[in-house]
Structure 1
Amino acid sequence: METDRKYLFTTRIPVRWGDMDFYGHVNNTVYFRFFEQARVEWIEGEGFRVGPDVPTGAVIINADCTFLLPVNYPATVLVKMYAGQPGRSSVMTWYELYVEGDERLYATGSSKVVWMDTRTGKSVPLPDTLRARFD
């Protein structure tokens, strides 16, 4: 992870029985949902609505995850979110995933968040109030 990253947010998410796959651990696609949930909660916590009817909002142009340990049901995951220095319309975000009550790191991830005009599909500058959060 980038050394100049800034801590933004932590969320707790219960693992559901249906999150598991045939092998009895959380399916790899669900980790991206955990990261997404953290990102949405953080954006909403900063005062921005997330939904199809907003004029501008955050979209992801890439995402990755490194799976270090399997997560099993029952559990509650902790997702910590970090960000780098913002550009004109985007910011890199990183995620660390833990299981509550266990200090081991279960997964890491990242995504590039771009602020977009939802009508045109084109990038727009990050809102000043959001940009100020990174200073």
Structure 2
Amino acid sequence: MSMTAPARPQPLARHHYRFFRSIGTRWMDNDVYGHVNNVVYYSWFDTAVNAYLIEHGALDIHAGRVIGLVVETQCYYFAPLAFPQAVEAGLRVAHVGRSSVRYEVGIFAAGAEQCAARGHFVHVYVDRDSRRPVAALPDALQRVVETLQ
């Protein structure tokens, strides 16, 4: 039986994303190797998604009855970024389930056509108190994620 290796993920172009957010790098983002450390990319994912949801009225982090918990995340890196570069996070939604959403984020050097990194995370939306998945996404959240598909 012949087993072929899965194709190596490739960078995506800007047109694959529906919304962009500018993000400034900080001095502390660089690691000892002179580029942005991998953990910073995950904070950029959180920033891009949650800021979009908050700004569009789909998420109330202080008093909302429904919150999103990350249950899966992954990132592929293609090119280094470093302070003091400006970056842009491209955002799209790849899948909407009953109580979950898969967000995909591309991290671009400002103005670049191809992403330097791309990844995803899955939010499962749960009741704030019980931490049990909701029966359905709240209407406001459903409307906002549809704009990113």
With normalisation by structure 2, the TM-score equals 0.79
- 1:61-109 superposed Cα distances (whole Å, 9 cap, x missing partner): 1111001111011111100111024111011111111011332320000
Q: Tell me how large the CA RMSD over aligned residues is.
A: 1.9
Answering whether residue 122 of structure 2 is matched by residue 112 of structure 1, we say: yes
What letter matches 1:92 in structure 2? R
Unaligned runs of 5+ in 2: 1-8, 10-15
Distance 1:49 1:132 in 2: 12
Distance 1:116 1:48 in 2: 14
Contact 2:69–2:125 (Cα < 8 Å) also in 1: yes
Larger-Rg structure: 2
State the match for 1:126 in structure 2: 137
Unaligned runs of 5+ in 1: none
Report how many residues are paired. Answer: 131
With normalisation by structure 1, the TM-score equals 0.87
State the match for 2:13 in structure 1: none
